[in-house]
Chain A
Amino acid sequence: MVTEHIKQRTPVLSLQAVWDALAQVHDPELPDLSIVDLGMVSEIKVNDNRVQVKIIPTYTACPATALIQLNVAEQLRGLGFAEVEVLRDSQTPWSSNRISESGRKKLQALGLAPPPQFDSPWTEQTLGQATCPFCGSNDTHLHSLFGTTLCRSTHFCTGCGQLFERFKPL
């Protein structure tokens, strides 16, 4: 883990301050989740009054990525860093497996079923198995591969007779 490595050789306080600031940057399509919850931060480098952060975009066509980069820069400048650099990490593919436990709980609370953890690559079977966020039933089936945003699929719950959305495995 890159972040662990950094923790050992930079002052804990400033690094923690950066993490805390990043936890204030939200995905406009999922306002309850921060980019830290979504696992979009791949690297933080703090060096005196300079900070460099690498952000992994989720879906390539996600319209929020540019806005998120701007908001990250603004948060970090707010901490008082003289030099702020926000880079797009194009080498690390984002995966829904990167969403944190707290992120999964927040999705669940939004009525959006969290993505299943999977050993890559995910399969059609992975897609079919979903737990209803409303009643907890596993008696559900995939209704549509696409939903109201790129990251959601639609499912039907036989338990409570409702359609629900799930954050797709990616």
Chain B
Amino acid sequence: MNPTVELITKMADDALIIGHRHSEWTGLGPILEEDIAMASMAQDKIGHALALYTLLQEHFAGPDPDTMAFSRKPADFRCCHLVEHPNGDYDFTLMRHFLFDHAEWLRYQMLRQSSFAPMAHFANRISGELKYHILHANTLLQRLARGSEESHARLQAALNDAFPLAMGIFEPGPYEQELAGTGVFAGEEILKNRWFLEVEHRLLSWGFQVPALSDAPAGWGGRKGYHTEFLQPLLDEMAAVIRSQPEASW
């Protein structure tokens, strides 16, 4: 696979899958504002996935975006395990949203300098949109961390669960050296270290115990096409409509 294609595919798959997970809160959010926030962020994420699949189509003769989203086998997906996990309670959803979105935001900040110009333009144009996602995660976590003993304890437990999975965001791909060497992307290791600096000080300031950064491959596998048992049912649900009417035009 072309190194840039591999990079874009995993970014698009992450955005598609976490967007779908967020969308599962539509109509079920704990309060109306959160319901709307999750639905809005889901719309953004899926829009970003579409834009990334379109980059693959336009610049690398990739399949059309619907095929990428709805007709691939799990082994063809490159999303990390963190985004595949079911939403659980709102505490896990929020903590995952915080950990994932800070990494996504920093990744795009790095990509603003990418030598692959279409990616640099895209990173530039979605920065403002992603900033709202980060602010949402920060604001809500801060409030709940200072809410009650229960809200604090639940978020700490969610952090303990989500943190090892978040390591899977930074699972090195097969082309780290090529991507760095050609100036397309500086690499997962650099991203991981920047991310840890960013999330650690926030979590500490909210009184959480922060797990240590590790290379333990607990959340690894997704970037190589090995997925959790949660991905297949999610893909089935996503594709249910298109499979029922494969000939329909939308």
Contact = CB atoms under 8 A, between A and B. Distances in A.
Interface string A112-155: 00000000011010010000000000000001111110100010
A143 B40 contact: no
Interface residue tally on A, bucketed by range: 20 to 34
Contacts of B213: none
Interface of A: 59-62, 90-91, 93-95, 121-122, 124, 127, 143-148, 150, 154, 168-170
A94 B43 contact: no
Contact of B36 (A122, A124, A144): A144
Contacts of B124: 93
Contacts of B40: 146-147, 150
B121 A91 contact: yes
Contacts, number: 66
Interface residues of B, number: 27
24 contacts: A60-B48, A60-B129, A61-B45, A61-B46, A61-B47, A90-B121, A91-B121, A93-B127, A93-B128, A94-B125, A95-B128, A121-B128, A144-B33, A144-B37, A145-B135, A146-B33, A146-B37, A146-B40, A147-B36, A148-B36, A154-B33, A168-B132, A169-B128, A170-B128
Most chain B CB inside 10 Å of its own CB: which residue of A59, A127, A169: A59
Most chain A CB inside 10 Å of its own CB: which residue of B43, B46, B118, B136: B43
A145 B136 contact: yes
Interface string B39-83: 011011111101100000000000000000000000000000000
Contacts of A124: 135
Nearest to B133: A145
